Structure 1
Amino acid sequence: MLIASSNRLARLHYGPNGFRVLAPGDHVLCAVSGVPIALEELRYWSVARQEPYATAALSVQAALDHKA
């Protein structure tokens, strides 16, 4: 049986080489900007903070913000 996950927030566990779906969905929210990121387009995340980012620039911004 397939579960429809369209327009539903996924919950993921982020690893160094990929992510694992903990709760099905079709997108996550960027930890910095709050914009939705389709799982197929998700390329940037922090393993240490378990956060997704919409762009490389936002991932760098988050890393710099957490250093301070």
Structure 2
Amino acid sequence: MIVCVCRRISDHQIRQAAADGAVSLECLQFDLGVATQCGRCADCASKVLCDARAAQAPVAAHANVQVMRPQMA
């Protein structure tokens, strides 16, 4: 779906920006131009970004887990 009509930015593009490291609306504004004209999409864009980051959190949490093996004496 189109989130930002002024810049024609979709939820897919926002999710991709989140995957690429965007962490805030300001990042989206800088990278994609979201909410830089009329601003009506700011809430929706923030929600899509938040949801995308939340969906990545379990993956990121497991990516940093190290398996500890017992040491043999």
Return the TM-score normalized by structure 2. Answer: 0.32
Greater relative contact order (Cα 8 A, min sep 6): structure 1 or 2?
A: 2
Higher relative helix content: 2
- Structure number with larger C-alpha Rg: 2
Higher relative strand content: 1
